Amino acid sequence: MKLKWKPKKLTLVIIPDANQSVVRFRIHHLFAYIAAACFSVPLLIALVVYGLHAHTAHTASELRIKLNGANQLWSAELSSKNETIEQLQNEVIQLSQKAELMKVKVEEMKKLESDLKSIAQLDSSSSPTKDPSLSDTAASNDAVASLPLGMGGSPNPATQEEIMKLGEQTLASLTAMDSDVKELQTSFTETKQKVAVKQQQLRITPTIWPTNTKLVTSPFGYRTDPITHHPSFHSGIDFGARENDSVFTTADGQVVSTGTDAFHGNNIVIEHSKGLRTWYMHLNKILVKRGDTVAKGDVIGLVGSTGRSTGPHLHYEVLKNGESTDPIPYLKAMRKDD
Ligand SMILES: [Zn+2]
């Protein structure tokens, strides 16, 4: 196919006014194209630039909106985190105050344990005296805990470092207390076992009075015999009780013998522990039999005047390994119903 260039002329007609003559320009066809191109290319560029600018402005606006939203979100988050941090810091302070109170309580428990040992006579080195400084502290702390006391003072905001340090100190304090409490648990368990042993010892030791009366008509030791009026040795204590008054066993034990003879009258022997026995004589009536298990304070017989006796009384003896011993040092405690 063969292209054939045909130069053409274009005629531009300008009509200024109806009364004026028409102006005609004849221009070359190519020139018209160039003129059209010269006019349209800048226009196109301007359109593209405008388009790009509009797009960029829109994008920037969207980003600004997004940024504002994100800023608000972060601000809210930051504020919330600051509140949380402040709350945690306050909790650290409260924890620290509670740890201090607990420390005082642990010290009180240590003192209590020491007193308990002392009361049970497990440790002679300590005595159940009150530590005034400790009880004062405890009392003031109790007062703080129970009263809605007013508080005030100048504002001294604590720094983050100070709170961190307080937290570390509280942790150290709690760790030390944990160790103290473990030691106390062990110590209390040992004390409990020792108290149980002590209680058992006490149960089998003749400590109470064998009659309701505390009237001693003849003590242990040398005396003038009430019948022969000769010097003699009295191997027990005579209690001036009335006929048929109750006779109590002075410790837990087992009846090893009951019987009657011209000297001792109706009598009972009770064994409490290996080598320790008590002997009750001149009874009007025996209320137990050989082999019976008796508990401290049980009624085992009634006061009488049987055997070698001038009137109703109880002759009471404590025997250690078969030897009569003065019962007075044993008569320490009252019966529960006294
Ligand atoms: Zn006697």
What are the DSSP calls for 155-219, one per residue?
Answer: --PPPHHHHHHHHHHHHHHHHHHHHHHHHHHHHHHHHHHHHHHHHHHHHTS--B-SSS---EEE-
Q: What is the residue type of 263?
A: F
CB contact set of 15 (below 8 Å; sequence gap of 6+):
22, 23
Q: Give distance in angstroms: CA of 67 to centre of ligand 1.
A: 110
Q: Give distance in angstroms: CA of 223 to centre of ligand 1.
A: 11
> To which residue do tokens 């001036």 refer?
240
Residue-level pLDDT at 135: 46
Residue-level pLDDT at 6: 60
Q: Give distance in angstroms: CA of 303 to centre of ligand 1.
A: 13
Residue-level pLDDT at 257: 98
Q: Give distance in angstroms: CA of 114 to centre of ligand 1.
A: 43
Residue-level pLDDT at 334: 56
Q: Give distance in angstroms: CA of 237 to centre of ligand 1.
A: 6
Q: What is the residue type of 50?
A: Y
Q: Give distance in angstroms: CA of 245 to centre of ligand 1.
A: 17
Q: Give distance in angstroms: CA of 204 to centre of ligand 1.
A: 24
Q: Per-block average pLDDT, block size 10, for the chain (338 residues)?
A: 60 79 81 85 93 94 94 94 90 90 91 85 53 46 56 79 89 90 90 89 93 93 87 94 97 97 97 94 98 97 96 97 93 61
DSSP-based helix, strand, coil % in the chain, nearest 5: 45, 25, 30
Distances from the Cα of 88 to the Cα of 92, 167, 236, angstroms: 6, 10, 76
∠ CA 209-324-204 to the nearest 5 degrees? Answer: 50
Q: Give distance in angstroms: CA of 274 to centre of ligand 1.
A: 25
Residue 225 tokens, joined? 């015999």
Cα R_g (the chain), whole angstroms: 56
> d(Cα 134, Cα 144) in Å, to the nearest integer?
15
**Is the distance from CB of 250 to CB of 314 less than 8 angstroms?**
no
**Is the distance from CB of 239 to CB of 215 less than 8 angstroms?**
yes
Residues surrounding ion ligand 1 at CB below 5 Å: 238, 315
| 216-330 topology per CATH | Glucose Permease (Domain IIA) (2.70.70)
Q: Give distance in angstroms: CA of 126 to centre of ligand 1.
A: 41
Distances from the Cα of 177 to the Cα of 109, 140, 163, 227, angstroms: 12, 21, 21, 71
Residue-level pLDDT at 333: 63
Q: Give distance in angstroms: CA of 255 to centre of ligand 1.
A: 21
Q: Give distance in angstroms: CA of 309 to centre of ligand 1.
A: 8
Q: Where are the domains of the chain?
A: 9-80, 216-330
Q: Give distance in angstroms: CA of 315 to centre of ligand 1.
A: 4
Residue-level pLDDT at 68: 95
Q: Give distance in angstroms: CA of 235 to centre of ligand 1.
A: 7
**Is the distance from CB of 272 to CB of 210 less than 8 angstroms?**
no
Residue 279 tokens, joined? 């002997």
SS3 at position 53: helix
Q: Give distance in angstroms: CA of 232 to centre of ligand 1.
A: 11
Q: Give distance in angstroms: CA of 336 to centre of ligand 1.
A: 26
CB contact set of 313 (below 8 Å; sequence gap of 6+):
217, 238, 239, 240, 241, 282, 303, 305
Q: Give distance in angstroms: CA of 218 to centre of ligand 1.
A: 7
Q: Give distance in angstroms: CA of 203 to centre of ligand 1.
A: 25
Residue-level pLDDT at 128: 43
Q: Give distance in angstroms: CA of 280 to centre of ligand 1.
A: 10
Q: Give distance in angstroms: CA of 285 to centre of ligand 1.
A: 17
